[in-house]
Structure 1
């Protein structure tokens, strides 16, 4: 464990609070002063948070990036970085991992800037979504059992989300996020458990964010995704980071910003050697979706192929629990969705249809929403490029699955299918399908 940075703490204690003269500045005061100086000098957001200031005090960050060092020298009125206890790290190359350098530290600030996080969201700000006021139920100190409970709850809600959609249990998962934020704000956490706590809260926040995305509560989703990403940074959880950025990319692509989606996927693939094959396959399928939306056909095909290669190396027993959903059906569906945007215009129709059909057949009862979405896409593709009556048959099955979930994304896909079916409504099966879709999607 890193030793406390006594020089930095003494400098902080000697700095008066901007709001209360004579009182030592808080971590938030220092963060605000640094961010204000960076904005005044460079006209850009600083992104320093109170959590990062805490890391500086604890000596967990020995060499902040150049902007932070310059701003902190200005705030504390010193000339040298060493006056604040900062020392350039030596390059250390462990036997089992590549070298960790200052670029790994600067990467976090780059990610926040790239995703528009600005002055990065600190986790307690999640309480603004649903303030937690009943501290009586919180433990005085966080224990391993508390963290296990958070992970168990996250797993339960993830299962519910896959089976019933995000709309049904959003309030319940928000309450659990509220509780987890209470742990961060009001309960003591031993240093030995801090990373595990942030990781557990990050996974729960990610699930809540994805549910909000599925329900089209996009602003809530973006905020919780960014908080989950902050958790991944604070806990150095590369697997959580990849999952969150992948989901953020999917939301961006879904809402019409494929270019930003591609950026988010590329960020997730930084140091992809630290990820598992299923995680890399997941990212490749998201990248292929963005490329297809952007009309970059050859890159889409190459990326789908690279994703297939990664998936071929998956060993389920070596994958983290939250990636167990990414089985053959999920991979077929995700890559089929990527090819769908090409196939709907007449390119690679057979390949896209084959993958979507494999997803529909492979998804079991635990993944009804995924089966409904893949089935609806397959029906749309068949309606545009194949037999409308066969498409209606596929659509009826997808509609039956969709009727068991509460998902705005599923409804949007059904509405798209109805639009594609309109030119073929002279067929009685197609007309009946459109009628049933209208009933199912009626507000």
Structure 2
């Protein structure tokens, strides 16, 4: 029986990205490794080992043959210097990078004062500092290249990149981040919001290889990190999980380059939440713990955010003691909150957000571990009351979970009323997460088939999900 193919991680290293793209294009051509090997005159083992990122050297001529056979328009030839170039191939590397940068003058070397140091691996599995910015740009663009919706947001050709990075470009990245963040919270990550997010990310990572004055290097990396966080969050909400992970990894790398502990903490918070949501709470807990590294450099609000992520991981693992302790740590940190000390993007983590996040952890204990549902219910109530229309998605998700809690453990009549209230918000969203929570509510409502109002709630959920 054939073994399943190993999942590839394109963000692990330049060689891993090269291998990921090779497997992707080979499969698009419906070729086996053996078929492709014959066409480019190498063994199938070599093809498979390159795909797995095991090769640290590869002939440029092979990359050229891969482009010719797979019809990839120079992709492997131009990325060869990044993945396999050596000291004696400087001229070829420079030529290839010039093509990649579309005429840019020089790339900025990585900063020597990265958060974890130039010789310390990043928690996100960052590549070596050589060609780091080119690697980030190339891997990001490849990840988003499959989305062919540019005409929706850019009916004409995209603008030419600037000759040099200016404050103007950094301001545009930050403006795009704020716009996507607002749209994502109010409407969800699907639809036009998701398209705008992808296009903005594609544009921003292209700036990483544009010459930049030294005084603006940190600001550029911080701005791209901020955009990566909001784009990743938008894709996460739309269940475009691969795109979300790429955006979060880029954000992590750029936060490291900028030496920004606050952006780093935010990135790991989202990586934790995504891992927990897709059923990997153990990895989610690891991400949250990594975010708390050197917590003395974080604000109280950021610590509360990361402890809440820990609580949600413990809740999914049905670890009662761990969950309660993490909720307590989150509450203690939040009690010390000073909004004036927080970076601007942390303004969302207010009383409503904190109570909603910790309520989710306690919800899992109530449903799966027989714990008191009242603790989660009170927190959901505060969250729903505190979220305004600008955070309609958060309000809808908290209200839906509150309704599910009541339907499963409390008063089904009250649960029905809460469910209809949640549906009023969800019907205006393009959020896959909100939709999945509705499905869960429908399953809990199915336990009360004798109640006509519960049956009507299920009908309305079905209609909303089909709309």
Same fold per superposition (TM over 0.5): yes
- Tell me how large the CA RMSD over aligned residues is: 2.8
Specify the alignment match of 2:299 in structure 1: 276
- Structure-to-structure mapping, 1:312-331, within 5 angstroms: 312-331=335-354
Shift of 1:141: 1.1
Asked whether 1:380 is paired with 2:421, we answer no
Do 1:209 and 1:220's aligned partners in 2 also have CA atoms closer than 8 Å?
A: yes
Residues 135/172 of structure 1: CA separation in 2 closer, same or farther (3 Å cut): closer
Specify the alignment match of 2:95 in structure 1: none
Question: Matched residue of 2:186: which SS?
Answer: helix
Residue of 179, 187, 211 corresponding to 1:164: 187
- Structure-to-structure mapping, 1:239-318, within 5 angstroms: 239-318=262-341
Do 1:278 and 1:319's aligned partners in 2 also have CA atoms closer than 8 Å?
A: yes
Residues 435/272 of structure 1: CA separation in 2 closer, same or farther (3 Å cut): same
Question: Matched residue of 1:284: which SS?
Answer: helix
TM-score (norm 1): 0.75
User: Cα deviations across residues 29-73 of structure 1 (Å, max 9, x unaligned)?
Assistant: 486378xxxxxxxxxxxxxxxxxxx88x77x549x9xxxxxxxxx
Stretch of structure 1 that moved more, 336-345 or 368-377: 336-345
CA–CA distance in 1 between the matches of 2:405 and 2:79?
A: 55
CA–CA distance in 2 between the matches of 1:144 and 1:440?
A: 45
Specify the alignment match of 1:130 in structure 2: 145
Shift of 1:199: 1.1
Asked whether 1:412 is paired with 2:412, we answer no
Stretch of structure 1 that moved more, 130-139 or 361-370: 130-139
CA–CA distance in 1 between the matches of 2:292 and 2:119?
A: 16
CA–CA distance in 2 between the matches of 1:356 and 1:108?
A: 39
Specify the alignment match of 1:178 in structure 2: 202
Specify the alignment match of 2:84 in structure 1: 32
User: Cα deviations across residues 228-266 of structure 1 (Å, max 9, x unaligned)?
Assistant: 111112212211111111101111100000111011111
Residue of 365, 379, 383 corresponding to 1:359: 383
Asked whether 1:153 is paired with 2:176, we answer yes
User: Cα deviations across residues 58-112 of structure 1 (Å, max 9, x unaligned)?
Assistant: 7x549x9xxxxxxxxxxxxxxxxxxxxxxxxxxxxxxxxxxx9xx7555534541
Residues 30/113 of structure 1: CA separation in 2 closer, same or farther (3 Å cut): closer
Residues 354/110 of structure 1: CA separation in 2 closer, same or farther (3 Å cut): closer
User: Cα deviations across residues 403-424 of structure 1 (Å, max 9, x unaligned)?
Assistant: 1111000000000000011010
CA–CA distance in 2 between the matches of 1:155 and 1:293?
A: 31
User: Cα deviations across residues 194-217 of structure 1 (Å, max 9, x unaligned)?
Assistant: 111111111112211111110111
Residue of 328, 343, 368 corresponding to 2:392: 368
Specify the alignment match of 2:50 in structure 1: none
Shift of 1:138: 2.2
CA–CA distance in 2 between the matches of 1:109 and 1:362?
A: 37
Any stretches of 5+ residues in structure 2 without a counterpart? 1-57, 62-77, 87-106, 151-155
- Structure-to-structure mapping, 1:21-60, within 5 angstroms: 29=81, 32=84, 60=111
Do 1:154 and 1:204's aligned partners in 2 also have CA atoms closer than 8 Å?
A: yes
TM-score (norm 2): 0.71
Asked whether 1:347 is paired with 2:371, we answer yes
Residues 150/426 of structure 1: CA separation in 2 closer, same or farther (3 Å cut): same
Residues 331/107 of structure 1: CA separation in 2 closer, same or farther (3 Å cut): farther
Residues 140/429 of structure 1: CA separation in 2 closer, same or farther (3 Å cut): same
User: Cα deviations across residues 174-203 of structure 1 (Å, max 9, x unaligned)?
Assistant: 111122122223x32111111111111111
Residues 398/206 of structure 1: CA separation in 2 closer, same or farther (3 Å cut): same
Do 1:124 and 1:184's aligned partners in 2 also have CA atoms closer than 8 Å?
A: no
Asked whether 1:206 is paired with 2:206, we answer no
Shift of 1:366: 0.6
How many residues are matched?
359
